[in-house]
Amino acid sequence: MTDANSALAERAKRARRIIRNPSLYKVCLGCDSIVASKVNICPNCHAYRYEIEEDFVVAQAKTLSTREQNSVVAEDLF
């Protein structure tokens, strides 16, 4: 399995977990990342405004699971 296929498979796995329990997550309005509901400041873009509507979280999880990551995350900065 290539790195790209492996990354997409991992994203799909995370999306399934989010879709099963959307109330545990929210979508950052700064960078469209999905973060845990307990997060106050987005670890990726440092925004603090979120969409918590479960249907929106599910739709975003489905969208993100079908494409490669294109945002910078904290791990990329080390």
How do residues 29-66 score in pLDDT, each as one tens digit?
A: 999 999 999 999 999 999 999 999 999 999 999 998 88
pLDDT at 29: 96
pLDDT at 12: 86
- Helix 54-65, helix 3-20: angle, nearest 10: 170
How confident is residue 74, by pLDDT bands cut at 50, 70 and 90? low
> Are 44 and 33 contacting, i.e. CB atoms less than 8 angstroms apart?
yes
Average pLDDT over residues 68-73: 64
Q: How many of the other CB atoms lie within 10 Å of CB of 75?
A: 7
pLDDT at 70: 64
